[in-house]
Amino acid sequence: MHHIPQTLDEALEILNNRHYQVIAGGTDIMVQYRSWSETLPKLNKPLLFVSQIPELNFINESDEFIEIGACTTYEHLLNSPIIPKILKDTIIDIAAPGIRYVGTIGGNIANASPAADGVCTLIALDALVEIVSSETFRIEKICDFITGVKTTSLKPNELIRSIRIPNMFHEHARFYKIGGRKADAISKVALASVCNVSEGRITKWRLAFGAVGPKVVSLPLIDEKMVGKTVEELKETIESIQATYAPFIKPIDDQRSTAVYRKEVALNLIKGFIESL
Amino acid sequence: MTDITNSIPKLDAKDKLSGQALYVSDIQIDGMIYAKTVRSQIVKGKIINIDIPFLPEGYFTVSRQDVMHKNVVKIIFEDMPYFATDEIHHLNEPIMLVVGPDKSVIQSIVDQIKIEYVTEIGVFDDRDAPVAYSFKKGNPKKVFSKATQVIEMNYQTGLQEQAYIEPQGFVAYEEGEKVTLIGSIQCPYYVKNAIIDALGCEPNQVRVIQAAVGGAFGGKEEYPSLIACQLAVALKKVHKPIKLIFEREEDILSTTKRHPSTIHLKAALNELNDVVGLSADIRIDGGAYIGLSSVVLSRAMIAVSGAYTIENIQVEGKVLRTNTVPNGAFRGFGAPQMIFAIEMFMHHIAKETNQDAFAFRMRHLARQGDKTSTSGVFRDPIILEDLIRVATEKSKYHSKALAYSQTGIHKGIGMSFFLHGCGFTGSGESTHINAKVKLFKTEAGLVKILVAAVDMGQGIRTTLPKIVSSILEIPIERCIFDYPDTDFVPDSGPTVASRTIMIVGGLVARAAKELKETWIENKEQSVIKQYVQPDYIKWNEKKFKGDAYPAYSWGVNVVEVAVDPLTYQTKILNVVSVYDVGKEIDERIILGQADGGIVQGIAYGYLENMVAVDGKIKQKNLTDYIIPTALDVSKMSTYIIDNPYPLGPYGAKGAGELTLIGGAPAVALAIEMAVNKKITKIPVTPEYLMELMHHDD
């Protein structure tokens, strides 16, 4: 039986009893389980609908975090004054308005596609996910929560409750989406890049690459090496910076692009970002 | 009388915008059941066993065992069975239908059918070439032996998917002995004749009706006949109305597409650096069955010298048979491949010989009275120079080309010149088609236009009534054009080859003139007109000699681009097009054709990428097969210059295909300027550009 719970507690209680396929906006699920037109989707588990749950639809701001309910739609985020510009820039490049009115930020994370643009930017912003079950509560970095292609650490009785983005101002924050066309395209490669500079020196540096590995590629240890350098130093050493990231960018050939193209463009985008500083 | 070019609202716009137009999938008939196709899972091999599960009551399989007469689709070359034989020649080849009342039961039967194969290795190269043509003009051997310089280049073009909005489909039902099919089709009589052949029945036992068509682009020229034959056989077995609609992926993976081509060109130059001889070797990949590939090849071969006159020509052409999905009709029909190759080649010859490419190409333009590639004559005035003048002015071609020629700007502007032969190739109109049209006037003075031409978006439901109303000087509301139904309309030929306005419209106009002269109030009247080939048109089909087409439409496209040096992505900045289509029957309809055609043509050149690897198409849906959105398109300006053709209605010539043909070379030449590398292959994807930019010439 499918369920449409009205509260978070009710949803978590239902999840304790048996396995469900959780569905929020359905923009991934309905594609994955599509079947012959006018027939029902080929589901292997009953559905638990969550997007109507009020406790999963909110945007809050504290000094520490911007917190977004898991079922907040892209369109809702676009219209919020609290949401960082880089996330809005990312959303504008996702799919088309029809999808953005139903697709949710939590669904984008739970689907764990390596080409998910939203995930890419959230990881560059060091975002966290808050995961709840009827008994437990845990917080995990998104880059750890997603464990591989379409896999996460989410247990069958858990739900993503919210996403927490550290409430920081970023002087330079850019999302680069390279898709087959300008709208309604899945990324061939993407880069979310964030940087702060104080008195000419880098104080924060984060890069997250989409569609170049089994999950979004985030390399905090390499990122940290940029901190303390001057912008001029970065600009003078673009090639060596590219070289430090290069071994970790391991894309594949598929129907959308080639591994060599993805790798080269990912590295070129680092150059593009540094030159824009 | 107002100028016929002045636009009126499209007569079917309200139906389509309000959602009232009935497409095949909207049609419901009492007791209707459904069909789904079981397809081969291998590229090449033999079926050794088919294991069909127990079928509940009311469920059937329909396969080649049920064929009553011929298991072959009647197309030009009859080699494609509509139900696979024991031999499989491509992936997703139709083997049988499963029919029954409940779709989920049908699906589970399809899932349970187990087919055992002996797999063989597929052929994907040029070793099997069942069609080979050649022709020559002048004395190519002599000019090549005396040439001061010979330049050679090789060009390649890829697959292109029609991507019509509405997938293929039919609803079929029986009335006594008679089978009726309502379909999303371009050619009602192709479908009817195919069914007659499949069932071995009388013509009056088959009726074909066109539903509203949600786009076709050639994809609904010959392919629907295959589905129609399957359904006709199924009807004779189950005797219930059946609906079969393809799913999008099924449609992409199993229906015909534009032929990939390899075109090798060789030019003989004289001491003035003029091209005096051209030799071409054109190979198109027909896929697993030839179908109408030989006709596509003919059109490509005849377009060999593009919009130029070259006195000595040698052309060899081959259709390759490979174990991929068969390729077929697509807007342009062989011409887009050839025009891409010759336009790039003319540019590359100029570069090779350090000549100004624009001046070089202008020097070779075809002029009235020149001999065509097949030694026919360009009889009508050619106003290509006027088109080029308008195009260069409106696009600021020369100043931009100069500015963009400096390095580091990463911008480019490209211009293509092209022509398109209107109507069937060669004597096809008189020998194969012999179009017939009928006007029927009711007592009340309504005039019914009875033709088999299909409106697939190109506006024929508006333009034909407009012609009739304008000639008869009666309100357009009194000119009735219903969807063609073969029980009522004569065979005016297929809706293909940019022939409808010029040939069918021309006949309709002549019928209207006769009706006007013989008009009697309050009396039923009909007028029938049949195509008569103009006396002066002579065509030798075997030798490819004479007038290949009765008339030509002409065009110039200018495309301006920027290429991002970090991502190798191309951005379209501006598009200017100028066309000679004789005379516009409706300005807005022509502008619609122009916008749609150039977008599809440019996208063919840089965006739409479909690759079959070992017979398997990699881009199986519209997520991965990228077609442009409104955001990928720039401002587009179109200018039309009148050049009336005496035999067309009001002087109109073909327009539908013309607008696609020049897009690819224009965008490729623009990209070539932006990156300063020779482009020899389309689509010019970012991946290909990256490769090019890493190579030193």
- Determine how β-strand B87-88 pairs with β-strand B45-51: antiparallel
Last residue of a domain, one of B476, B504, B530: B530
Residue B395 pLDDT: 98
Residue type at B36?
Answer: K
Helices H, strands E: what count in chain A? Answer: 12, 13
Last residue of a domain, one of B484, B499, B530: B530
Residue B696 pLDDT: 67
Model confidence over A166-184: pLDDT tens digits?
Answer: 999 999 999 999 999 999 9
Same domain, B187 and B246: yes
C-alpha distances out from residue A137 to A12, A65, A92, Å: 12, 18, 32
Residue B406 pLDDT: 87
Q: Which residue of B has its CA nearest to A267?
A: B566
Same domain, B660 and B583: yes
For residue B59, the tally of other CB atoms under 10 A from its CB is 18
Residue B206 Cα to chain centre, angstroms: 27
Residue B533 pLDDT: 87
Model confidence over B7-56: pLDDT tens digits?
Answer: 999 999 999 999 999 999 999 999 999 999 999 999 999 999 999 999 99
Residue B2 pLDDT: 81
Q: Which two tokens stand for residue B34?
A: 């459904």
Q: How far apart are alpha carbons B59 and A184 in whole angstroms?
A: 40
**Which residues are within 8 A (CB) of B543 and not within 5 positions of it... i.e. 6 or more apart?**
B135
A–B interface: beta-carbon pairs under 8 A = 65
Angle between helices A85-92 and A117-124 (to 10 degrees): 170
Same domain, B287 and B366: yes
Q: What does the pLDDT average to over B421-445?
A: 92
Residue B306 pLDDT: 98
Q: Which two tokens stand for residue B125?
A: 């190269």
Same domain, B327 and B242: no
A255: nearest CB among B567, B619, B630: B619
Model confidence over A101-126: pLDDT tens digits?
Answer: 999 999 999 999 999 999 999 999 99
B504 touches chain A (CB under 8 A): no
Give the domain CATH number at B201: 3.90.1170.50
Q: Which of B687, B691, B692, B695 to mutate to test the interface with A (most CBs of A within 10 A)?
A: B687
B407 touches chain A (CB under 8 A): no
Distance from CA of A31 to the nearest CA of B (A): 11
Kindly list the residues from chain A whose CB atom is less than 8 angstroms away from the CB atom of residue B609: 180
Residues from A contacting B (CB-CB < 8 Å) are 35-40, 96, 178, 180-186, 254-258, 260-261, 264-265, 268-269, 271-272
Q: How many domains does chain B have?
A: 3
Indicate whether B15 belongs to any domain: no
Answer whether residue B430 shows pLDDT above 90: no
Indicate whether B359 belongs to any domain: yes
Residue B291 pLDDT: 94
Look up the pTM and report it: 0.97
Same domain, B636 and B551: yes
Kindly list the residues from chain B whose CB atom is less than 8 angstroms away from the CB atom of residue A254: 618
Answer whether residue B513 shows pLDDT above 60: yes
Answer whether residue B523 shows pLDDT above 90: yes
Same domain, B339 and B474: no
A36: nearest CB among B247, B620, B687: B247
Q: What does the pLDDT average to over B287-311?
A: 97
Same domain, B331 and B279: yes
Same domain, B526 and B570: no
Q: How far apart are alpha carbons A90 and B182 in whole angstroms?
A: 46
Same domain, B285 and B421: yes
Residue B1 pLDDT: 54
Answer whether residue A16 shows pLDDT above 60: yes
A38: nearest CB among B103, B566, B568: B103
Kindly list the residues from chain A whose CB atom is less than 8 angstroms away from the CB atom of residue B628: 181
Last residue of a domain, one of B473, B503, B530: B530
Answer whether residue B407 shows pLDDT above 90: no
Indicate whether B584 belongs to any domain: yes
Give the domain CATH number at B687: 3.30.365.10
B631: nearest CB among A182, A257, A271: A182
Same domain, B596 and B516: no
Model confidence over A60-99: pLDDT tens digits?
Answer: 999 999 999 999 999 999 999 999 999 999 999 999 999 9
Indicate whether B437 belongs to any domain: yes
Indicate whether B184 belongs to any domain: yes
Indicate whether B155 belongs to any domain: no
Same domain, B551 and B639: yes
Q: What does the pLDDT average to over B308-332?
A: 98
Answer whether residue B86 shows pLDDT above 90: yes
State ipTM.
0.96
Which residue in B124, B152, B120, B100 sits closest to B47, CA to CA? B120
> ∠B20-B24-B25 over CA atoms, to 5°?
85
* Spatial contact of B480 and B442, defined as CB atoms under 8 Å apart: no
Residue B306 φ/ψ, nearest 5 degrees: 55, -135
Indicate whether B134 belongs to any domain: no
Model confidence over B352-403: pLDDT tens digits?
Answer: 999 999 999 999 999 999 999 999 999 999 999 999 999 999 999 999 999 9
Residue B697 pLDDT: 56
* Spatial contact of B84 and B47, defined as CB atoms under 8 Å apart: yes
Query: What is the average pLDDT score of chain B?
Result: 97
Q: What does the pLDDT average to over B653-659?
A: 97
Residue B425 pLDDT: 87
Q: Which two tokens stand for residue A88?
A: 């809005």
Write out the residue range of the structural domain in which residue B443 sits. 428-530
Instruction: Tell me B327's DSSP state.
Output: P
Tell me chain B's radius of gyration from C-alpha atoms. Answer: 25
Model confidence over B225-264: pLDDT tens digits?
Answer: 999 999 999 999 999 999 999 999 999 999 999 999 999 9
Residue B332 pLDDT: 98
Same domain, B679 and B666: yes
A36/B107 CB distance under 8 A:
yes
Indicate whether B142 belongs to any domain: no
